Structure 1
Amino acid sequence: MEPQTNELQALSGLLPLAILTTEEKQALAMWTSNPRQYPELTPEETAEVLQTARREKGRQAYLEAYTKQVHGEKQWPDLDARTFRDFVVRRGKARAADRGWADFDIDADNRDILKILALYFVGDERFEKLKPGYSLGKGILLIGGTGVGKTQLMELCSVNPHASYTVHECQVIAEEFAAKDGGKPVLDHYSGHGRVSKTDYTFGQTITGRFFDDLGQEANARHFGNERNVMGEIIQNRYRLGNYFLTHFTSNHDMEQLGQFYGPRVEDRLREMCNIIQFAASAKSRRGSVANPIATTVVEK
């Protein structure tokens, strides 16, 4: 049988006692008191506790803000034509520095072109008043001599609030078609719009357009003996697809020359699909090269 509580209490007087200091006895008493009491902290201990608490509070605040930054709702910059032009110039100068160019120049040859593009790529309705037939529902066909800066301007505008797009060279597309694993899948790929899952560089747009560079410089292509005017077919396919504002081009050739190469039907499609913007004939080349004639040879593989 277990001893009774009173008996245990009586026996406790015979147990050995720990040798405690007065401070240690006070500590035992404080911890078992009701309400419980706590010792005072030294100034050093107080400072350390506060620093630890502040550090933990800062860590929690950082984690919450970082989570919101990465996974929270995004708000893209609200750009007007002027601020978009400024962005294009900043990006152009950064590109020039990265690639070792002398500079990225905005001058009499391209200043008005950039103003027109800026109105278009921010979706400013004033664009449609610039010229009869201009529409924000169409894409861009930028025409000018070799080296005037068409490609650079269109590449620098590729991230925009109206409809961001990817960049493709027409000659490379023809070569892809002619490759052993090319053919119809290449046509299908470029005839459709792009899709992205990460939208940080597309203003939240999950469907992106395509910009085809140097239209009319590519050769016809042959895939296993099947010769095709690749870009002509892509233009026709994208015309049937609609959403013309997702299709853009540059070319060294005017509409008459493009019609000679692709035929009147494709020329008509281009006129329906695109806002035609043209550099002045006097615009200087920024790389000093001579314009190439429209390609007429066949790429075969």
Structure 2
Amino acid sequence: MKYLETTYDPKNPSIIYVDSVQYELGSFDGKSILYDFPKIVKYLDAKGKLMFGKNFKIYEDDHDLLLKLTSYFVQDHDYCKKLGIDTAKGILLSGPVGCGKTTLMRLLPHLVPHKKAYNFIPCRNIVFGFNGVGFKLIQDYEDTKDYCFDDLGVEHVGRYYGKDCNVMGEILISRYEVFRRKGTKTHITTNLNAEELQEKYGERVRSRMREMFNLVSFSNLAKDKRG
């Protein structure tokens, strides 16, 4: 779906423009932004409708989770500390099928258009790529770009010239090394819980994920928003 570009006022980054419509996310004192959560929700609802269609909405049931995520994306270090979120780590967003994980992780970077957004890639596409080019693809993710890997856990085992590979497991190990050396962030969405992740990727990967990610979860009772 085509949607309008998000821009901001360089002199006042608390003001965001979508085409000619202005949204004020808080107040700017010349050095930092004091964000206003109700204004953020209003903006995200409007931007979401442009990106995903008129049926998109921000659900009140998700406000607590959204407060955590927005605090992280705007890098409110003090409030994130109160919430138990480490702003130096990535986000692992988990929850049931259809609860809105992918949508939010596509939407939230538009809160901070003055910052470089991460590359958003479905895990199944990565495995398809591996099946075509092999182990070079895993090495490609050893760079210092930020990524969001979508739908971790639904991808198949990769196979290249008859050799099987847990592609995403290997990539996560590589990303862990980059995180340790450079502080480069990786983000993930997944339907799997901690036990299921460990079963699929092993304790070696799971232990590294604990260091790399803040776990933010939808309720298991979160509604399917695709209906």
Same fold (TM over 0.5): yes
Counterpart code for 1:239: Y
Higher Rg of the two aligned structures: 1
Matched, 1:274 2:217: no
2:45 alignment counterpart: 89
- CA change 1:163–1:116 in 2 (3 A) is farther
Of 158, 162, 168, the match for 2:109:
158
Change (3 A) 1:76 1:252: farther
Return closer, same or farther for 1:108/1:184 CA change in 2, 3 Å cut-off: same
8 Å contact kept, 1:213–1:249: yes
Q: How much does 1:245 deviate?
A: 5.8
TM-score normalized by structure 2? Answer: 0.78
Q: Provide, for residues 84-109 of structure 1, a one-character-per-residue CA deviation record: whole Å limited to 9, x for no partner.
A: 44432221011233xxxx52121233
Q: Which amino acid aligns with 2:141?
A: Y
Counterpart pick for 1:247 among 179, 182, 186: 186
Alignment partner of 1:121 out of 44, 65, 73 = 73
Answer 1 or 2: which has greater strand percent: 2
% identical aligned pairs: 36
1:25 alignment counterpart: none
> How do 1:36-55 and structure 2 match up within 5 A?
none
What stretches of structure 2 of length at least 5 have no aligned partner?
Answer: 1-9, 15-32
Instruction: Provide the aligned length of Structure 1 versus Structure 2.
Output: 194
Query: 1: CA distance between counterparts of 2:122 and 2:201?
Result: 17
In 2, the alpha carbon distance for the partners of 1:253 and 1:148 equals 13
**More moved, 116-125 vs 84-93:** 84-93
Aligned to 2:93: 142
- After TM superposition, the structure 1 = structure 2 runs for residues 143-222 of structure 1, keeping only pairs within 5 Å, are 143-161=94-112, 164-179=117-132, 182-194=133-145, 209-222=146-159
**CA distance in 1: counterparts of 2:69 and 2:98, whole angstroms:** 18
Question: What 5-or-longer segments of structure 1 have no aligned partner?
Answer: 1-73, 195-208, 289-301
Give the one of 59, 62, 66 matched to 1:107.
59
Q: Which amino acid aligns with 2:188?
A: F
Compute the displacement of 1:183 (Å).
1.2
Kept in 1: contact 2:73–2:108 (CA 8 A):
yes
